[in-house]
Chains A and B, each alone.
Chain A
Amino acid sequence: MMLTPESLAQIDREVAKYPADQKRSAVMSALRIAQVEKGWLSSDTIKFVAEYLGIAPMAAHEVATFYNMYDRAPVGKYKITVCTNLPCALSGGVDAGEYLQKKLGIHFNETTADGKFTLKEGECMGACGYAPVLLVNNHTMCNHMTPDAIDRKLAELN
């Protein structure tokens, strides 16, 4: 099996939310669960998810390439996404992005040499009142990320 029994059980719980003839609705969650386990979505993983749900591989591939939180190439152990959209930018979002680039020695869309951190510039995360905002590995939101707070977060992840 390509995914662990734990991941498959999670996917099964998602499938159960939808009508029996609409398993396709679970493809977004299934890809998310697969990505959490594998770190990123290879074509083989996408194909496996599609077959597990009984849908065409291309249908899953379309979803994996349309939504921007799916990673179609390997990323570092920690993927950090910084929101630089206007409301965040007015409250230090761009500064947080620059500070992270300097601190990690990489630009956006790059990964540190030790494979630990990937840095991404993101669009609105729906948390503008808590700017600057970072998202770690798609699922952990970090609010009010001043340079000091970024230092603490990086130390904790390291």
Chain B
Amino acid sequence: MTVYVKGVVFDGVDFDDPNSWSIDAYIQRGGYAALKKIIAEGITQDAIIAELKTSSLRGRGGAGFPTGLKWSFMPRSFPGQKYLVCNTDEGEPGTFKDLDIIVNNPHALIEGMIIGGYAMGITVGYNYIHGEVFEAYERFEAALEEARRAGFLGDNILGSEFCFQLHAHHGYGAYICGEETALLESLEGKKGQPRFKPPFPASYGLYGKPTTINNTETFASVPYIVREGGQKFLELGKPNNGGTKLFSISGHVNRPGNYEIPLGTPFADLLEMAGGMRGGKKIKAVIPGGSSAPVLPGHIMMETTMDYDAIAKAGSMLGSGAVIVMDETVCMVKALRRLSYFYYEESCGQCTPCREGTGWLYRVVDRIERGLGRPEDLDLLESVGKNIAGRTICALGDAAVMPVQGMLKHFRDEFLHHIEHKKCLVPGF
């Protein structure tokens, strides 16, 4: 189920048409017009980056970093090879938007990357695709072949001096590779273990060369911005939160799926689009930005709009836009146990606080769930969390701690009940 309201990323895609992903269909709905305009009118690199800054497009992978600013960091005059990388290693529990893009509108991503290559003076790009979606990887490979045949990729694009090669790289099962420096290591054919930053990828990236990395949805938003102007994109959303955003809704709703809506849309409207609560049950809690975002009680969410600033103000983060909805039957101890297991399983093992700490978090939450919790366990969880957060090379450690902190902040009573009565306060999952 995919719905778009004001289509940017999914502009004009017909989800019932099996050929809607193809280059012919994409061109028919205005695709590659932005690239043609750039080449025909000789639009400068600076003008494209300025347009992105006007749009206030922010990184759609989770961090929300301003894309125009990131692109301006690339040292364009660097004499050697530079690289452009797309992060389609989507494995944050709750997130399934980039899969939808590479399956249903892959050319929007390809065009966005070509424009990125042009704007930053880069001639080679890679798209790193999540391991578990092999069929989507094959679809993307097919789309690349179409773009090469049509002269949008390769040498002397559309008869200009500009050359850009783009390839797909298939992951094989490691959440950590969604972290940009782990992804670079993996692209180099190594274990996906994050690098220390600085140096940042803009100066030392793939094969040690300057590299810009963006999320799939970020790149796929670029053609619209170039075609329609940054101001128009900005006005779709709200100040500092320009444009539309894909929200992946999962959990206890009637119509889980991807919804592309303007940033700043009230959560209540999004929930209604997703068909409301399954079985008419009461909303209990929402994880608004993927499993790493702190959980928020339903009543807070019902008062919140879906944008970076509003969700941060409510005490969580917009992250990748993965909205996990839970109804009144969910035991929060059990929910946290599953998430804590995930981080324990996916820690790359490089930093001791994360490698050991995620195991501690999981084992303590697990014993509380099994009725073996001790009165001091909640303090222990907080203490372990403090010894992980901010003490690791990458953000996976922080990501493991945030769900624990969010749960203890808003649903502490449930954890205390578990410890005291050795059973769930609520019956369901």
Contacts and interface: CB of A to CB of B under 8 A. Distances in A.
Contact of A128 (B93, B207, B339): B93
Q: Name the residue in B126, B186, B346, B429 with the highest tally of chain A Cβ atoms < 10 Å from its Cβ.
A: B429
A43 interface: no
B264 interface: no
B172 A86 contact: no
Nearest to B251: A90
A68 B173 contact: yes
Contact of B93 (A31, A68, A124): A124
Interface residues of B, number: 57
Given A125-B132, A128-B322, A28 B171 contact: yes
Interface string A116-158: 0000001111111111000100111100000000000000000
Interface string A19-54: 100101111110110000000000000000000000
A124 B248 CA distance: 14
A123 B342 contact: yes
B188 A128 contact: no
Interface stretch (A1-9, A59-67, A72-80, A104-112): A59-67
A124 B338 CA distance: 11
Interface string B348-382: 10000000000000000000000000000000000
Contacts of B174: 66-68
Q: Name the residue in A70, A128, A129 with the highest tally of chain B Cβ atoms < 10 Å from its Cβ.
A: A129
A135 B170 contact: no
A89 B167 CA distance: 35
Contacts of A66: 174, 191-192, 348
A33 to B, nearest CB: 10
Given A22-B188, A32-B172, A90-B252, A126 B338 contact: no
A123 B17 CA distance: 31
Contacts of A91: 250-252, 256
Q: Name the residue in A25, A62, A63, A135 with the highest tally of chain B Cβ atoms < 10 Å from its Cβ.
A: A25
Contacts of B98: 126
Contacts of B130: 125-126
Contacts of A140: 134-135
A122 B175 CA distance: 12
B172 A31 contact: yes
A142 to B, nearest CB: 11
B189 A90 contact: no
Interface in B110-141: 126, 130-135
Interface string B87-104: 000111111101100000
Nearest to B330: A90
A59 B186 CA distance: 12
B62 to A, nearest CB: 14
B191 A63 contact: yes
B182 to A, nearest CB: 10
A22 B132 contact: no
B418 to A, nearest CB: 17
Contacts of B338: 84-86, 89
B187 A90 contact: no
A90 B326 contact: yes
B131 A67 contact: yes
A28 B132 contact: no
B169 interface: yes
A17 B169 contact: yes
B301 interface: no
Nearest to B1: A129
Given A24-B188, A85-B338, A129-B249, A17 B167 contact: yes
B189 A27 contact: yes
B1 A123 contact: no
Contacts of A57: none
A29 B170 contact: yes
B345 interface: yes
Q: Name the residue in B134, B188, B324, B330 with the highest tally of chain A Cβ atoms < 10 Å from its Cβ.
A: B134
B273 to A, nearest CB: 13
Contacts of A69: 131-132, 172-173
Given A85-B291, A86-B335, 12 more contacts: A17-B168, A67-B172, A67-B192, A86-B291, A87-B250, A90-B325, A91-B252, A94-B429, A124-B91, A126-B130, A128-B96, A129-B258
29 contacts: A17-B167, A17-B168, A25-B189, A28-B171, A28-B186, A63-B190, A66-B174, A66-B348, A67-B174, A68-B173, A69-B131, A69-B173, A89-B429, A90-B252, A90-B330, A91-B250, A123-B342, A123-B346, A124-B92, A125-B130, A125-B133, A126-B90, A126-B96, A126-B99, A126-B130, A126-B133, A129-B249, A130-B256, A138-B131
Interface of B: 1, 81, 90-96, 98-99, 126, 130-135, 167-175, 186-192, 207, 248-252, 256-258, 291, 322, 324-326, 330, 335, 338-339, 342, 345-346, 348, 429
Interface of A: 17-19, 22, 24-29, 31-32, 55, 59, 62-63, 66-70, 84-91, 94, 122-131, 135, 138-141
